[in-house]
Amino acid sequence: MTDAPILPILFHPAPILRAKARPVAEADGTRVADLAARMLSTMYKAPGIGLAAPQVGEGLRLVVLDVAKEETPAPMVLVNPEIVAASTERAVREEGCLSLPGQYADVERPARVKVRYRALDGSRQEVEADDLLATCLQHEIDHLDGVMFTDHLSPLKRNMLIKKFLKEQKLKSREAM
């Protein structure tokens, strides 16, 4: 599944990153399987542990992730994922994003979540998660609703992080000339 061609990852402030993605329909079936394979290749190459379709320019409710150790990949493909339960207990983890490369911040989220989704074969699935998987699921599902991890930060921290990222991007584009 990871031999598929990679896709370009969109960076902040690409408008699709702020749009609500549409549910995957039955008619999207074969296209979604190909897109999921390409998204996994892209995520592994980046390297990252999660990627949502809007990050590669597709406004679909599709997420791929793999929080397993590198030696034992355990890719997950979630079609139309939704958080159906979240703990009141909170946890803080450092998060980063492939659409804001090099930027990291501590984000507080529910410590545990239950997510309902469809697998590529159309079967209904549920996963209960804590630790890194819970954070990753919430982060990627946020992308499907046009929410980025920076939205969970204070306005001051968010502005500092985004200004730093944009400055770095400007420098990179100057160096590329």
| Residues catalogued as catalytic | 140
H/E segment holding residue 171:
helix 155-176
- Three-class SS state of 33: helix
Cis peptide before 73 (omega within 30 of 0): no
8 A C-beta contact, residue 17 and residue 39: no
d(CA 143, CA 81): 11
Contact 99, 9 (CB under 8 A): yes
How many Å apart are CA 162 and CA 177, to the nearest integer?
Answer: 23
Q: 42: part of which helix (H) or strand (E)?
A: helix 29-45
Number of H helices, E strands in the chain: 3, 7
Query: How far, in Å, CA of 79 to CA of 65, rounded?
Result: 12
